[in-house]
Amino acid sequence: MNLRELTPADAPRCAELEKVLFPGETPWTAAVFEQEMAQPFTFYLGVEGALDPAAPEDGEDPVLLGYAGIGMMGPAADPEFEIHTIGVDPQAQRRGIARMMMDNICYIADLKSAPVFLEVRVGNDPAIELYRRYGFSIEGIRRNYYQPSGADAHVMVRPSQSPQARQREAKEQ
């Protein structure tokens, strides 16, 4: 498996995965992904590899198995990050792809000593558990966040884990 930065050429595959991952909602289109990737202070990454984990490394062309996007907001001297989207092909789940992307998202935020925010559907226990393992906690709820279903979303936050942020936090206490 290979982690890489996504480009607008990846937008159709991301949109294809959105339809599968978020049925009954309004999935992002390829055009939305292209617009997101073009925004300043956003970063999209993905993991590509063989859909069949038993396939030999050189046996099949790699396919985009997962994608994630983050945006930096606020002043450059004191930013925060938001995970805009993250998803893994159902056929490739439970292979460490989400962890690979989360490792990198958290690393990027920690370079800036910044917290990370996200929204996750209430009841999406596998995702909530993954985020908790990365230090996220539930801080609030957004009612009727997902449309058209009207499902609620938890707002989760991960404080920066950088040494600078921990020192700053210790001084404030």
Answer whether 45's CB lies under 8 Å from 5's CB: yes
The one catalytic residue among 119, 129, 145, 169: 119
Verify whether residue 131 is a known catalytic residue. yes
Q: Measured between alpha carbons, how far is 88 from 17 in angstroms, rounded to an integer?
A: 8
Verify whether residue 107 is a known catalytic residue. no
Answer whether 47's CB lies under 8 Å from 97's CB: yes
The sheet with strand 63-73 has its strands ordered as: 2-5, 42-49, 63-73, 80-88, 116-121, 151-158, 137-146
Q: Measured between alpha carbons, how far is 20 from 143 in angstroms, rounded to an integer?
A: 23
Instruction: Report which secondary-structure segment, H or E, holds 66.
Output: strand 63-73
The one catalytic residue among 34, 57, 131, 172: 131
**Residues acting as catalytic residues:** 119, 131
